[in-house]
Structure 1
Amino acid sequence: MAEFQFQQVDVFSSEPTKGNPVAVVVGADALTTEQMAAFANWTNLSETTFLLRSTTPDADYKVRIFTPQTELPFAGHPTLGSCHAWLATGGQPRGDTIIQECGLGLVPVRSQNGCLAFAAPTLQRSGSVEPFLLRRVADGLKISFSSIRAAAWTDNGPGWLSIMLGSRKEVLALEPDYAALSDLSIGVIGPWDTLQDGKQAQFEVRAFAMSCGVNEDPVTGSLNAGLAQWLIGSGLAPEHYIASQGTRLGRAGRVHVDQEDGKIWIGGVTNTLVTGVLRL
């Protein structure tokens, strides 16, 4: 039986327990894929990650990301939580920007103003959604087809298909038929009304990741990255905004989106809430 450093990191909220937790196993090179998958299934968090030595001189470390059911090439809040744990356990970046290696390739991560932020990776699939599929999404979300203001593929690994509704209220009212959409991962976004909702954020987001084994993810970096690329690129969102997520789950997620020099950065506050030793 081997021992490994372990952290559980809360991501995308300055309030403890109000973000999205990720379990991080540090120095996990000795673990097999089967052991990683079994531990991720046991934690039953939306994602569990394993920090490894990089396999390329261009990266500072490598991460493998597992849901309770499958391995992902990339995910957002696990990227920030894993980087937080790597730094907290003595990781030293080689340059001003930390470079993470994952299944999707190399992902830059930076620290700024008390937050970590990753550069949104290139979308694996973008563009319009087939009308028959969009109608199926509307039926599964129990909304009228006409209430969908815009839609696009925003897939950067988990398979995201995203739609925009007319308001935060519409987003929060959704009661999906998860079984009817079990093979899909759907992101939903709607604008805040400054008079009714306040000014703490500009958009409300929900992430229904059934195809990854998670009905609703509390706060989702990969989805927000894809949403930002779609919405900013099509003029539906400004270059700088804050997205709220997790409200229906009792969370207070805040995702900071910034486009700078052609790159979109997805950031938020990260805090370690649990440290310990894993024995496997």
Structure 2
Amino acid sequence: MDVPFFWVDAFATTALAGNPLALVPDADALPDETMRAIAREFNQSETTFLVRPDRPGADHRLRSFTPAGVEVFGAGHNAMGAWIWLARSGRLDPGRDTFVQQIGDELLQVRVSGRSESGVEVSMEQSAPRFLGRVEDRVALAAVLGLDVEDLAGDRLAEVASTGAEHLLVPVRNIEAVDAAQPDTAGLRKLLADAGAEGCYLYTVDLDPVAGVSAYARFFNPTVGIVEDPATGTAAGPLAAVLVRDGLVHDHARIIIEQGRKLGRPSRIGLSVDGPLVTITGTGVVAAEGVLHL
């Protein structure tokens, strides 16, 4: 069996930036174990498979796996890259700009604009925000992140929030503290399990307002085998909701989170929050294609 695949750099305007996604279209014939094996082969933070939807009203169904074989849900770069490819490959009705994606059992709206050779912009709805509890042991939290307690933000606690995936959002003092983090994988995995979270989003809002960035972040997810991710839509969504809830951003329709700089893959994730509606926006490019011979 020959299985075509594509490489999409999401949250990027040029190749070799943003967050790379391995994408396998027309994957209905692949058993789950083969999907997991392909995800291990690509060894990217996520590999997405496009399959036929099984819920009425959905245009496309997405299934995403990590290198550890864990299926993950939520609309982040895994979905962003898939829709960028769908738009660039001519698979979307040119008379429409709004579509519905199925991820797990959820149906989420997608808007595709700017379908041209110069680029595609995709906006996706995420699930309504949920705020699921705080982590109060600052000493233990700092230790597993490889930081001093003084590096954590003094006026706010870390908390678990979700717009489709539960992540621990950890506020720290400044960019230097974000970049200094060196998590202890085993310790962070246990802390996340105890907190009921999947990944850890370390961030600061201590930024120059002239830069137009609302927060600077790094993402670690040892629970599903991701050491560090350069652009994480499923973590940026709940962070945007927290920033709006706490009055840390003034323009709820234009929230920008920068991520990936430490990995040499700078990414900017655009978001808007309107009550329970969180929308994530980004661009991307199809950087490569090939065929798996199975």
Structure 1 segment 74-153 matched on structure 2, within 5 A: 74-92=74-92, 95-103=96-104, 105-112=106-113, 114-123=120-129, 125-132=130-137, 134-145=138-149, 147-148=152-153, 149-153=156-160
Aligned to 1:271: 285
Separation of aligned partners in 2, 1:65 and 1:164:
28
Separation of aligned partners in 2, 1:104 and 1:212:
21
TM-score (structure 1 length as normaliser) = 0.90
**SS of structure 2 residue aligned to 1:269:** strand
**Relative to structure 1, is the Cα distance of residues 155 and 263 closer, same or farther in structure 2, using a 3 angstrom cutoff?**
closer
Aligned to 1:210: 222
Q: Give % identity.
A: 31
Separation of aligned partners in 1, 2:233 and 2:184:
23
**Aligned residue-pair number:** 275
Separation of aligned partners in 1, 2:74 and 2:223:
15
Q: 1:249 aligns with which of 258, 263, 278?
A: 263
| Runs of 5+ unmatched residues, structure 2 | 115-119, 193-198
Amino acid at match of 1:80: M
Moved over 4 A (4+): none
**SS of structure 2 residue aligned to 1:41:** helix
State whether residues 54 and 101 of structure 1, in contact with CA within 8 Å, keep that contact through their aligned partners in structure 2. Answer: yes
Deviation at 1:200, TM superposition (A): 4.7
**SS of structure 2 residue aligned to 1:28:** coil
Separation of aligned partners in 2, 1:168 and 1:84:
31
Deviations 1:168-192 (A, max 9, x none): 2221222222231124321111125
**SS of structure 2 residue aligned to 1:18:** coil
State whether residues 51 and 86 of structure 1, in contact with CA within 8 Å, keep that contact through their aligned partners in structure 2. Answer: no
Separation of aligned partners in 2, 1:256 and 1:192:
18
Deviation at 1:150, TM superposition (A): 3.3
| Runs of 5+ unmatched residues, structure 1 | none
**Relative to structure 1, is the Cα distance of residues 140 and 62 closer, same or farther in structure 2, using a 3 angstrom cutoff?**
same
Aligned-residue Cα RMSD (Å) equals 2.2
State whether residues 189 and 206 of structure 1, in contact with CA within 8 Å, keep that contact through their aligned partners in structure 2. Answer: yes
State whether residues 4 and 291 of structure 2, in contact with CA within 8 Å, keep that contact through their aligned partners in structure 1. Answer: yes
TM-score (structure 2 length as normaliser) = 0.86
Aligned to 1:222: 234
Does 254-263 or 89-98 show the bigger shift? 89-98
**Relative to structure 1, is the Cα distance of residues 112 and 191 closer, same or farther in structure 2, using a 3 angstrom cutoff?**
farther
Deviations 1:18-70 (A, max 9, x none): 11000000000000000000000110000001001111221101010000011
Separation of aligned partners in 1, 2:123 and 2:107:
14
Structure 1 segment 146-185 matched on structure 2, within 5 A: 147-148=152-153, 149-183=156-190, 184=192, 185=199
State whether residues 207 and 213 of structure 2, in contact with CA within 8 Å, keep that contact through their aligned partners in structure 1. Answer: no
Structure 1 segment 223-242 matched on structure 2, within 5 A: 223-238=235-250, 239=252, 240-242=254-256
Structure 1 segment 62-77 matched on structure 2, within 5 A: 62-69=61-68, 70-77=70-77
State whether residues 127 and 153 of structure 1, in contact with CA within 8 Å, keep that contact through their aligned partners in structure 2. Answer: yes
**Relative to structure 1, is the Cα distance of residues 117 and 14 closer, same or farther in structure 2, using a 3 angstrom cutoff?**
same
